[in-house]
Chain A
Amino acid sequence: MWRRPFPWFIIAAALLYALYPYFTDDVGLRESLLLAAVYIILASNLNLMIGYAGYVNFGNIVFFGLGGYVCLYLVTALHWHVILSAFVAGIAVSAVALLFGLGILRLRGAFFALATIGVNQAIQQLVVNFEPWGGATGIYLSLDSYGPLGGPMQALWTTYLLIVALTAASLLASYAIKNSKFGLGLLAIGQNEDAAAVLGVPTPLYKALVYSASAFLPAVAGGLYFFKSGIIEPTSAFNLQTSIEAIVMVMLGGSGTILGPALGAFLYEELRGFLLTAQSFSQFQLVIAGALLLLIVQFVPGGLLGWLHQRWPRTRRWLE
């Protein structure tokens, strides 16, 4: 894997992304880049499901929210270090996803998509009624919680750097999976699941594994993100709208490619930032998102990268 330039390119880009706001000490830029990085993590991992295995996970945000809850609970109730908590949250959410996956991945197409929405809504309701996690009001962090990271100001920088690292990890994982036997099996499932099974791909296992794998980094990111925010509550943690926006990002950049979803996430986030500054249109980005999704699915199903690959086949080699 490391013999090709692509992974090194990702690492270099991530370093630049992480260090530019740090050395210019631009807090505003950092915040906007942080949000974009979170979206890249969400879109990139969602792409493992949509682009590789061909299963549209509408409730993908549940991993992010649940990761946030587990992490903040560990930090506040058990006083664990945030990095350990986020990591454990990732493992816990992956394990839950594996169990869910073995069940709902028996469904296909629209039925699977509906089931994933169901999972998200069910877990949201569960959390609303779960008192140890603060019920409908959620979990707040006190300022002391930032002590282990050197105080609140330093913690903001540390979480930013960690989240950028997770972004790089997401892209590297997409790359590694795509160039592995596991990835080939997933792509086969995405193309024609029945044919893949006849060829010997263990479809139920692979689907559950990729569902679980696509939960890990978003859950860790959720832990760090909500730690940085200092508060988590059910409506923002399990916001279905964000799930759908993540799907738009994947489709916009090019599902099934490695860089596409990241590109889509970054562009969408910038667009959203631009539209949000225009006060008269609250949530106007959703109108654009809906229109975009329709246009993409109808006219450029391959997204930006798919279109580039078709237009200039040479780009296939280096723009994966």
Chain B
Amino acid sequence: MSTLLEVSRVSKRFGGLQAVDRLSLTVNEGEILGLIGPNGAGKSTVFNLINGVYPPDSGKVFFAGEDITGQPPYRVARHGIARAHQIVQPLGGLSVLDNCTVGACFGRQNLALGQAREAARQMANMVGLGDRMDMLASSLTTAGKKRLEMARALSARPKLLLLDEVLAGLNPAETEGMIETVRKIRDSGIAILMIEHIMRAVMSLSDRIVVLNLGARLAEGTPQQVADNPEVITAYLGDSKLINAAELPT
């Protein structure tokens, strides 16, 4: 299994806040890497550094052996990295199909308009938006918009998909459906780097997990290893001794 994405000692500082601190991680071809950590750990910033929303202060990002550090988002997209946003960003005035067509037209495939429309139709069907193709993106429900984010990213036929909390805000039935979709995507050969707060989902989907705390890597391993790591438990729940010490009146 070869390395697809290599993030090497990247740092990013916003004013007084060290958002990401010399973080390294790798994503191999065909795997799902979960990226977890408490709120404010810098997870979304890592995504922004990978896909070029901002350049890192230091460190390097390699994709498929090529140095893509500091390239603007539209060039990163061409290399084959697609992203589904945590806060959905639909092109509201365009139809669902057109949204996906943008992904197919300008992503890695760089298709002509006609072919792009075909690819977009397939992806919209795959994530279950087939019956809403001609609706305006702005009129979709939250779950629908999340699916649109995925369909749009997939329409580019990326090699790597960045999923930023695609399960957040979904009801249990929708969550089940989405987990199934993520599996299907991995089975189609696309590597996935996912940020997720819903532990059940991360644990069942991820091949490996990286835990981030205060911008730095706290732990890495299989889901089981990470779950058993006392430092991880501390970062999430606070110091276990303190928890034990605070005898709650019952």
Contacts and interface: CB of A to CB of B under 8 A. Distances in A.
B221 interface: no
A256 B92 CA distance: 14
Given A184-B98, A184-B113, A195-B85, A200 B91 contact: no
A interface, size bucket: 20 to 34
Nearest to A191: B91
B74 A203 contact: yes
A210 to B, nearest CB: 15
Nearest to A187: B94
B107 A199 contact: yes
B89 A184 contact: no
B105 interface: yes
Given A192-B91, A195-B85, A201-B106, A187 B98 contact: yes
Contacts of A181: 105, 112-113, 116
B interface, size bucket: 20 to 34
A197 B72 contact: yes
B59 interface: no
A196 B90 CA distance: 10
Nearest to B106: A200
Interface of B: 51, 53, 72-75, 77-78, 82-83, 85, 89-94, 98, 101-103, 105-108, 110, 112-113, 116, 152-153, 156
Contact of A188 (B51, B53, B82, B102): B102
Interface string A84-114: 0000000000000000000000000000000
A184 B93 CA distance: 12
Contact of B74 (A187, A197, A256): A197
A199 B77 contact: yes
A197 B98 contact: no
A187 B90 CA distance: 12
B51 A198 contact: yes
A32 interface: no
A60 to B, nearest CB: 22
In the A-B complex, the 9 residue pairs with the smallest Cβ-Cβ separation, listed nearest first, are A200-B77, A200-B106, A191-B91, A195-B89, A197-B73, A200-B107, A188-B102, A198-B73, A181-B113
A196 B102 contact: yes
Contacts of B78: 200
B113 A198 contact: no
Contacts of A256: 93
6 contacts: A180-B113, A190-B93, A191-B93, A199-B102, A199-B153, A200-B156
A201 B156 CA distance: 12
